[in-house]
Chains A and B, each alone.
Chain A
Amino acid sequence: MNAALDRVGGVYALPVILAIIAFAAIGSASTWVTLTAAGLAMGMMIFLMASGLSLIFGLMDVLNFGHSAFVSFGAFIAASVLAALGVWLAADSVLLNLTALMAAIAAATAFGALAGWGFERVIVKPVYKDHLRQILITMGALIVAEQLLLAIWGGTPIAVARPAFLTGSIIIGDIAIESYRIFALLLGLVVYIAMYFALNRTRIGLLIRAGVENREMVESLGFRIDRLFIGVFMAGSALAAMGGAMWAGYQSLITPALGQELMIIVFIVVIIGGLGSIQGSLLGAILVGLMTNYVAFLFPKLALASNMLLMMAVLLWRPYGLKPAVKG
């Protein structure tokens, strides 16, 4: 099986294989295109949330169950900024629409980075090298974060306005694709390309990749890995908040439970993709996005279970995930 898969592009061919199987099962080209676009957009948003978590685990060996708190806060902060800039959002100007949306995403991302810094210093730093305490304290932090969300924004679901230029769908023949999904897909791709270049073309990126493999050796070469930890944690939290901001617009209605709901799916992506690997996170996120949409259409009752089954299948086949970082 591995040899056959390698001939067609290795594990990177899996989303294509999944899409081909789904095409045969769905039967309608227009429905398939719509579902595939939705799956890819969902995958890209989950990638934003999961990539940071994967790097944090890979480099720092930290199990951060509080990661989804950054997703929630990102979503709520973006919703508040969008509400405050409602006039720009509804204006008949793409520039104003885009400015409002970018302001919301930027505010969420900046909050994620700052909160990530505080979280690492106060919550995570004291429990390095102790997985049990990491799980307990970060789960506790997630609960506290959820209560903070309730205290600030209340328990009533909040409607999230979309910019006027991203409402509606693009129609090609009998294919309809939501504009917002195309935007989410493009933003995810831009972030992935930026991360790819940062990790592969810069010295900091080289250090992060090396640190994921063997922290001790990086220190033995004269680099302060603790400083790298803070930077990666801030970047990972910022990406999670950015993903949350995008998810808020995607869902249109958000509640404080959003983070907890997404936590499982984000962990599934990280596990499927392989810890510490950005390519793995992207692959895992796209697989989960496509699987969710295809199965929700074909077998609605299996929608929730499908990703669990996918994770089980991947782990039985590749216990370290599809594309794990090489560990020294």
Chain B
Amino acid sequence: MSGAILRLDDVHTDIAQYHILHGISMNVPEGGVHVLLGRNGAGKTTTLRTIMGLWRARKGAIVFRHHDITAMPTPDIARLGIAYVPENMGIFGGLTVEENMRLASTTGRFDDERLGRIFSLFPAIEKFWTSQASGLSGGQKQMLAISRAIVERREMILIDEPTKGLAPAIIRNMIGAFREIARETTILLVEQNFLFARSLGSGVAVIDDGRIVHSGGMAELAADEALQTRLLSLSLAEQH
């Protein structure tokens, strides 16, 4: 598919003796928010970690722009412009908010204009700038994790379940922030929260048992309750 920033082609990943991804094939077009939906244990996190090189694909190919990143070390993948926000947020609790942000900047310096935009998206980051990150609340940590990912312009951001355990007010704030971020970068978002995913996503892929079982436009899935029920199980359809 032309215009794809990221392409996964028949990717298989094992974790220890377990075969988790059974041939994931997926194209992520450039720009906007693309959502990978699926129930717990379907292989969403494994897919992101395999893209990031944190777990190795046993078979298949992962191509980012024109680079085959299938066997590339994680730091090299990151340096191609892919940022990763893991499910546990990956915050360095012993470091201050500023140090967390500085570490994510390639030069160790900040672009003041960009930092100003981050502060307007997430005022808590400015408020707690010199505080130790371990003292932040769950929502503030998530804001820091996302701010860290956008401290520089990235080609793509992989975000793993950012709404997990967050209050509805914070989720609403995050929807606005993601829309803003998606103006300049491509986001691949892993989610279980269909309401959140629906409000952001332009494209969607549904993963089940390590395979992509559906891909297409988000509007199409949002409009088709029967499809939601079939693909995402009752628990997700109930949220709708």
Q: In the complex, what residue of chain B is closest to A277 when comparing beta carbons? A: B94
Contact with A along B154-186 (1 / 0, CB 8 A): 000000000000000000000000000000000
A224-B92 Cα distance, complex, nearest whole Å: 17
Is there an interface contact between A217 and B92, defined as CB atoms closer than 8 Å?
yes
**Is A92 positioned at the interface, with any CB of B under 8 Å from its CB?**
no
Return chain B residues, CB-CB under 8 Å to A207: 103
A-side interface residues, number (CB < 8 Å): 21
Select one of A203, A206, A220, A225 contacting B90, CB under 8 A. A220
Q: Which stretch (A63-71, A123-131, A208-216, A312-320) binds chain B? A: A208-216
Is there an interface contact between A213 and B94, defined as CB atoms closer than 8 Å?
yes
Select one of A203, A209, A224, A325 contacting B75, CB under 8 A. A224
Return chain B residues, CB-CB under 8 Å to A6: none
Residues of B in contact with A, size category = 20 to 34
Known A206-B103, A328-B88; judge A222-B78 contact (CB<8 A). Answer: yes
A247-B75 Cα distance, complex, nearest whole Å: 41
**Is B58 positioned at the interface, with any CB of A under 8 Å from its CB?**
no
Is there an interface contact between B103 and A219, defined as CB atoms closer than 8 Å?
no
Is there an interface contact between B92 and A219, defined as CB atoms closer than 8 Å?
no
Is there an interface contact between B92 and A203, defined as CB atoms closer than 8 Å?
no
User: Which A110-136 residues have C-beta < 8 A from chain B?
Assistant: none
**Is B3 positioned at the interface, with any CB of A under 8 Å from its CB?**
no
Q: In the complex, what residue of chain B is closest to A221 when comparing beta carbons? A: B104
Least CB distance from A209 to B in Å reads 6
User: Which A144-198 residues have C-beta < 8 A from chain B?
Assistant: none
Return chain A residues, CB-CB under 8 Å to B106: 222
Least CB distance from A15 to B in Å reads 22
A216-B91 Cα distance, complex, nearest whole Å: 11
Contact with A along B84-95 (1 / 0, CB 8 A): 101010111111
The 10 residue pairs across chains A and B that have the minimum distance between CB atoms: A326-B94, A217-B90, A222-B78, A326-B93, A219-B74, A220-B84, A222-B79, A210-B92, A213-B92, A222-B75
| Contacts A/B (CB < 8 Å), 26 sampled | A206-B103, A210-B92, A210-B95, A210-B103, A213-B93, A213-B94, A213-B95, A214-B90, A216-B74, A216-B90, A217-B86, A219-B73, A219-B78, A220-B54, A220-B83, A220-B86, A221-B75, A221-B78, A221-B104, A221-B148, A222-B79, A224-B73, A225-B75, A325-B94, A328-B90, A328-B93
Task: Using CB atoms and an 8 Å cutoff, list the residues of chain B in contact with chain A.
Answer: 52, 54, 73-75, 78-79, 83-84, 86, 88, 90-95, 99, 102-104, 106, 108, 134, 148
Other A-B pairs, 6, CB within 8 Å; known A219-B78, A328-B90: A219-B74, A220-B52, A220-B54, A220-B74, A220-B90, A325-B94
